[in-house]
Structure 1
Amino acid sequence: MKRLLVLIALLLPVAARAQDSAVLVADELFVTADEDLVATGNVQAFYQGTVLSAAQVTYDRESDRLSILGPILIRDARGNILTADRADLDPRLEDGLLRGARIVLDQQLQLAANRVDRLGDVSALTATAVTSCQVCPGRTPLWEIRAGRVIHDEAAEQLYFENARFLVRGVPIFWVPRMRLPDPGNERATGLLIPQVRTSDRLGFGAKLPYFVELGPSRDVTLTPYLSSRTLTLETRYRQAFLAGDIEITGAVSRDDILPDDLRGTIAAEGEFDLGRGLRLEFSGTAVSDEGYLLDYGYSDADRLESVVEVNRVDPSSLFVADLTHIRSLRDDEDEATLPPLLGSLGWERRLEAAGGTLGFGADADGFLRTERADGAEGRDMMRAGAFAEWRGDRVLRFGLLAEGQVRGDLDTYRIVDDPDHPAPFYRIAPAAAVTLRWPLVRRGASADLIEPVASLGWSGARGEEPPDEDSRLVEFDEANLFALTRFPGEDDVEEGGRLSLGLAWTRQGPGFTSAVALGRVLRTEAQDSSGASGLSGTVSDWLLSGQVDLDGGFALDARTLLADEMDAIGKSEARVDWSNDLVTLSAAYLFLPADDAEERPDVAAEWTIDAEWRPSDRWTLRAGTRYDVANDRPARAGVGFGWRNECVDVDVSAARRYTSSDDSGPSTDFGLSVNLNGFSAGRQARVTPGQCRG
């Protein structure tokens, strides 16, 4: 403490004359005959967040300079580190000259130079070696850039290289007279991004060279030339952020050997905006020149393209949605004109507390337009407008019995064009009601068990003309709609008559696990005209069986199936397994769909999909994925890949095979390679601990 007080007393007049110069702390401090201040032994200097450590510091009062002897260590307020053997700096530790210097930016990028000249936020490094790899004595780093001169602009967060050579293990690979790269702290900077190498059966061997252009703080564009032996392609991505939203537009244009006489391409856009008063505008859409383009270039395997514009407002008591959708089919056996390709809907709903429950009411409208000019189902256009009101509430009865009640009424009017069976507008009224009883039974012990039998008695009817079924053809039967008033996904069909829905659920929770099993079915007074595969046809539905398991350690299993009345035949079934922890990420799914002409599926459909990733260390990542067509006993897709990284480089290699084919695109195999040099990517890579230097 005594030494510190003496130093402060000596430094006060010096600091005042130096006009807010650095503060020095040292083992020994004395003033020479020329009134120079000399500090030796564990010297430290502090100035506005910058800290300097050195063996000796001499302050020349007349020239207002610091002469410093190393080893020197300077750490600035941003966390950057600079070391040197000797230095001549101003008291602010900003301007001056350093000899035998090494700069470390963001604890990643090392710049070693014979000489560093500093002037404010700009440093000029002479005879420089730049790398983010660990540097061991007697061994060249994995990669480095050697340049005659490097300018580091701290304000712009840019590095400018002159006469630069790129070396791998000391072997020169290429030379450039000038180039510019962002320093690790620069999150958005114009320049070249990670190149990618791709080999494809359809497009041959090629490379992608993405170039990012910053157009301002809220806009940027990425241009990616894709050059191969069979294509010349330019990919683009434009992004812009507004005060009330953002947009992103991607696209590509190609001239290739697949369709040599045509210019091929695609464009996609998406965005969202806050329109005020709680309204949001959302849109997305994709257009493509031909049916095979997206598959040929690996952009997407979608067989239908949807373009949607939607305006919505959601709050705790009301909902408003208006949307317009255009659909383009890429399927070989589907006529786009009869899909229909154009659909629109408008809906408003409000909920409020009433009569001890919740009252909901609203109005909606929807319609579609077919471009096919024909009478009947292939050319029919249709519009519906309607209103509804419903009330639901619940009460707890004696012995823990929970009673739920629901009443609903729908009024719809239809206008159908190009269908002689419906020449004039018509209406339909659909009332419905249900009462549901639940009796949750709990047993507590080492694990907790909840057994819940459920019975729901419901009725629904329809009065008026029956419309053609356009939006309720694919009916699903699952736990979510077992006790619902209707199991149809749309508005055109109504589940008429009385019905009794029965279910039993068992949930068990213990140390490290949670499991659940549910079983249920529906009994009706009137036969339901649904597809056989839905499990809801006739007066008695199939049995619905589902189960879930969640374990500590990230493992989860979810499965459901439909069983015939005698439980001797399996209907629609699906199962999914997920497992995720520090070492493994696994996702596997199985789907089985029986043949059903009503769902336009003449043959059985069944497939496995598996995606797995194994991370044996922080350096290695192994990936594999497949999609296998079980019904036809053949693979649909398969892919493998691995990634390797250390403190200075990321390498990713992948291979993928698509076995399916269409009239526009056949099976193909793709190989990909990307190499990223860490240290120029704004810290987006996960840090890897460097290995130990040997010897």
Structure 2
Amino acid sequence: MADLMRITALALGLLFLGCVAALAQTTPTPPAVLVADDIVVTPDRRLIASGSVEAFQGQTRLTAQAIEYDANAGTLIITGPIAIDNGEGAVILADQAELSRDLQDGLLIGARLVLDEQLQLASVRMNRVGGRYTQLYKTAVTSCRVCEDDPRPPLWQIRAKRVIHDEEERQLYFDEALLYWRNTPIFYLPRLRMPDPTLDRASGFLFPEIRSSTLLGTGVKVPYFITIGESRDLTLTPYISNQTRTLEFRYRQAFRKGRIVFEGAASRDDLQPDDQRGYLFGVGEFELGRDFRLQFDVELTSDDAYLSDYGYSDKDRLDSEVRVSRTRRDEYIQLSYINVKTLRDDENDDFLPSDIVEALYDRRFFPTALGGEFRLAAEARTHLRQSDDPGDSDGDGVADGRDVTRVNIEADWRHTRFVGGFEVATRLGLSADAFEIKQDAVFDSTDSEISPHAAITLRYPMVRHDPGGVSQVIEPVVQLSYVGGDGLNVPNDESTFVEFDEGNLLTLSRFPAPDRRERGWAAAIGATWARFDPDGWSANLTIGQVIRQESQGDFTVSSGLGGLQSDYLLAGQMKFDGGLAIAGRSLFDDQFDVAKAEFRGSWRNDRIDIGSSYVWIDEDDQEDRPDPISELSFDGSYRIDRFWTADLDWRYDLTEGRAATARAGIAYSNECIRVAASVTRRFADSTTVEPSTNLGFTVSLRGFATEAGGHSQVRSCGKQAK
């Protein structure tokens, strides 16, 4: 019976509002719909709806206890509690209201405006004007959760004489705004404009950051965000302290088939008072058609210490690159130009390969007559030094002005089949290498060679399944290979640092670049073991060694690949269901003398994310390392509770017996505020970089479009943070 009465009331409401709309001689508006438990139409053309009233006008939805509609005046008198949702993230709550028939104009008493379920604006009185503007008088604004049973004020609020919300521009305008922390006023602004939380991009000030540095003093950064159309924006950040006057910037632009981002800074400071200092970093990528992609990366700085002094980057070599490439399933093409600038105080840019041009082509075919896979690879590279001196003025064994051009072509046929449980992989091929060397008094100007190569690899995988669901896999492997040729008399500019790991155990050449190759007969022997437990943990282990007919003189001592027998390679990792993971790799000889070792352990759960690493690399004059490297590092974060998070990063040089860098931070974040503080210490010292300590402090008020991103916890009533 109640449902029948409600349906009848709905029909009467629709009929009445339809007749009114037909008689009105105004601009057509979307039809109105009224639903209520009870609807009465009086003789003087007044409609009275009561009991769970709902009204719809376009996207706008209104709920109230009662509505009285005066057709002669065209007004709605509404009794609360009232809720008006415009369908675009704005909700108005009020005790009582008098509105126009289309809900676009009118007066609301005891009203609150809620934007995007984040920002609350509570006022004594609210006016709706033209369906676009909402004016609130004697207003308190906050994004903090307000609990009725908690007498305390929110953590922060902005009190204003008047606030105007522009729904079209999605902006908030404050008159006589005063920011409060609890009940304590912080600062006053006669006029203030802020974007509402439904707006993704808006010009205006972002939240400032306070920074203190032993090099630059104490200062403040005040970013200003500028929108330039729908696809571009610019952020300018003045950084003012008693030691520096800096302007930082970031420019972003999106294109139909690409994007660019540039960031940089310009400074005048007391560290180098006579110099204009600055840097520029930029990246971009564009689709060129036919699957080609253009990418660029720009890295420029005014001096070697600027990036470190201001904390913009830890890089000690800058590389700018322009690349055109295409990646397809069976083909890869690349053409690139790279410019390198060193920031190390023991290197001279004039003597380093600073301009590099490289072209790559990789293609694979699947011949039906032979079976298997045929690969063709070609690479051309030129690197130039700024110096023209063919001699060695600094005594490092490298000609100061040596320029090198090389071309490498390799053709391979590969085939894999299974015979009696063995996986047999065969490889046959031919390599052609040609070099041109200029401005070097030691090496010939040209050299070339054609080298055949062949390899056969045998694997015998063995699998065991235990009744408890545990699976184990053991796979011994052996590879016999041959690379012909006598080797070229060319300088080593690219393969100066060689790594021996499980990834290149079965390759024919373990040099990182084709400017040199391993020659002669060689055998690679190894085995892999893996275990998978249904309880959630797994482990794997790899061991291997390379044995040669003749030693390779181009390998360094610490590479583990010198001599007739390489060092033993041992690598493995374990993962547990509780979030614990351990991984390590080591190279050691027959006397268990370790050349290189690295270990990493980490533990992650809902509250903890920590990790620690240890690295050991033996001394090696061939790699310009007169002393061994022994370093311990730690990184982690701890979620103290729902709102507090602490993090720590620390790196300790065991050889020097001192810390290299350290950083600690703590942050508080909830639904309405984020506060973060950090301290960073750099202990390293050189002729261009000085030890320094930096303190940072930021406060972000959530609820505006300028807030800091990221997940936030919402406080529960009765459990607010002290």
Give yes or no for TM over 0.5: yes
Residue equivalent to 1:383: 405
Taking the aligned partners of 2:621 and 2:488, their CA distance within structure 1 comes to: 26
* Alpha-carbon offset, residue 419 of structure 1: 1.6
Q: Is the 8 A contact 1:461 1:495 kept in 2?
A: no
The match for 1:271 among 273, 281, 284 is: 284
* Alpha-carbon offset, residue 577 of structure 1: 2.2
Q: Does 1:524 align with 2:524?
A: no
Q: Does 1:373 align with 2:416?
A: no
Over 3 Å counting, the alpha-carbon distance change for 1:464 and 1:173 in structure 2 is closer
Q: Does 1:213 align with 2:226?
A: yes
Matches within 5 A, 1:61-140: 61-118=71-128, 119-136=130-147, 138-140=151-153
Q: Is the 8 A contact 2:48 2:66 kept in 1?
A: yes
Q: Is the 8 A contact 1:87 1:99 kept in 2?
A: yes
* Alpha-carbon offset, residue 63 of structure 1: 2.0
Taking the aligned partners of 1:250 and 1:430, their CA distance within structure 2 comes to: 48
CA deviation string 1:30-57 (max 9, x = no partner): 1122110001222222233433222210
Residues 387-396 or 4-13, more deviating = 4-13
Matches within 5 A, 1:8-27: 8-19=10-21, 20-27=30-37
Matches within 5 A, 1:530-569: 530-566=555-591, 568-569=592-593
Residue equivalent to 2:489: 466
Taking the aligned partners of 2:718 and 2:64, their CA distance within structure 1 comes to: 26
* Alpha-carbon offset, residue 161 of structure 1: 1.1
Residue equivalent to 2:371: 356
Taking the aligned partners of 1:586 and 1:171, their CA distance within structure 2 comes to: 39
Taking the aligned partners of 1:523 and 1:313, their CA distance within structure 2 comes to: 38
Q: Is the 8 A contact 2:10 2:36 kept in 1?
A: no
Q: Is the 8 A contact 1:503 1:520 kept in 2?
A: yes
CA deviation string 1:176-214 (max 9, x = no partner): 121111111111111111211110000011111011000
Residue equivalent to 1:402: 423
Taking the aligned partners of 1:144 and 1:669, their CA distance within structure 2 comes to: 34
Residue equivalent to 1:434: 455
Taking the aligned partners of 1:395 and 1:547, their CA distance within structure 2 comes to: 28
Residue equivalent to 2:476: 453
**TM (normalized to structure 2)?**
0.94
Q: Does 1:257 align with 2:270?
A: yes
Question: Percent identity between the aligned chains?
Answer: 42
Q: Which runs of 5+ in 1 are unaligned?
A: none
Secondary structure at 1:538 match in 2: coil
CA deviation string 1:363-391 (max 9, x = no partner): 22001101122114222111012322111
Taking the aligned partners of 2:476 and 2:121, their CA distance within structure 1 comes to: 71
Q: Does 1:325 align with 2:325?
A: no
Residue equivalent to 2:396: none
Q: Is the 8 A contact 1:414 1:427 kept in 2?
A: yes
Matches within 5 A, 1:27-42: 27-42=37-52
The match for 1:485 among 505, 508, 524 is: 508
Residues 73-82 or 428-437, more deviating = 73-82
Residues 125-134 or 539-548, more deviating = 125-134
Q: Is the 8 A contact 2:487 2:519 kept in 1?
A: no
Secondary structure at 2:564 match in 1: strand
Taking the aligned partners of 1:203 and 1:687, their CA distance within structure 2 comes to: 33
Q: Is the 8 A contact 1:344 1:368 kept in 2?
A: yes
Taking the aligned partners of 2:357 and 2:612, their CA distance within structure 1 comes to: 36
Q: Is the 8 A contact 2:202 2:705 kept in 1?
A: no
Secondary structure at 2:551 match in 1: strand
Taking the aligned partners of 2:590 and 2:676, their CA distance within structure 1 comes to: 52
The match for 2:525 among 494, 502, 515 is: 502
Residue equivalent to 1:339: 352
Taking the aligned partners of 1:9 and 1:211, their CA distance within structure 2 comes to: 55
Residue equivalent to 1:298: 311
Taking the aligned partners of 1:168 and 1:464, their CA distance within structure 2 comes to: 75
Matches within 5 A, 1:182-221: 182-221=195-234
Residue equivalent to 2:634: 610
Over 3 Å counting, the alpha-carbon distance change for 1:418 and 1:451 in structure 2 is same
Secondary structure at 1:348 match in 2: strand
* Alpha-carbon offset, residue 677 of structure 1: 0.3
Amino acid at match of 2:382: G
Taking the aligned partners of 2:570 and 2:70, their CA distance within structure 1 comes to: 87
Taking the aligned partners of 2:597 and 2:312, their CA distance within structure 1 comes to: 30
* Alpha-carbon offset, residue 361 of structure 1: 0.8
Q: Is the 8 A contact 2:443 2:489 kept in 1?
A: no
* Alpha-carbon offset, residue 463 of structure 1: 4.7
Amino acid at match of 2:423: L
Taking the aligned partners of 2:566 and 2:586, their CA distance within structure 1 comes to: 13
* Alpha-carbon offset, residue 13 of structure 1: 2.2
Secondary structure at 2:472 match in 1: strand
Q: Is the 8 A contact 1:369 1:381 kept in 2?
A: yes
Q: Is the 8 A contact 1:125 1:149 kept in 2?
A: yes
Residue equivalent to 1:636: 660
* Alpha-carbon offset, residue 423 of structure 1: 4.5
Taking the aligned partners of 1:630 and 1:468, their CA distance within structure 2 comes to: 34
Q: Does 1:571 align with 2:595?
A: yes
Q: Is the 8 A contact 1:366 1:385 kept in 2?
A: yes
Q: Is the 8 A contact 1:192 1:210 kept in 2?
A: yes
Q: Is the 8 A contact 1:21 1:91 kept in 2?
A: no
Give runs of ≥4 in structure 1 deviating > 4 Å.
Answer: none
Q: Is the 8 A contact 1:240 1:246 kept in 2?
A: yes
Q: Is the 8 A contact 1:212 1:221 kept in 2?
A: yes
Taking the aligned partners of 1:685 and 1:248, their CA distance within structure 2 comes to: 21
Taking the aligned partners of 1:694 and 1:578, their CA distance within structure 2 comes to: 33
Q: Is the 8 A contact 1:18 1:64 kept in 2?
A: no
Taking the aligned partners of 2:4 and 2:265, their CA distance within structure 1 comes to: 73
Taking the aligned partners of 2:444 and 2:464, their CA distance within structure 1 comes to: 62
* Alpha-carbon offset, residue 464 of structure 1: 6.6
CA deviation string 1:254-308 (max 9, x = no partner): 1111111111111111111111111111111211111111111011121111111
Secondary structure at 1:479 match in 2: coil
Residue equivalent to 1:412: 433
Q: Is the 8 A contact 1:428 1:466 kept in 2?
A: no
Q: Is the 8 A contact 1:427 1:464 kept in 2?
A: no
Secondary structure at 1:291 match in 2: coil
Taking the aligned partners of 1:149 and 1:178, their CA distance within structure 2 comes to: 10
Q: Is the 8 A contact 2:231 2:255 kept in 1?
A: yes
Taking the aligned partners of 2:212 and 2:693, their CA distance within structure 1 comes to: 8
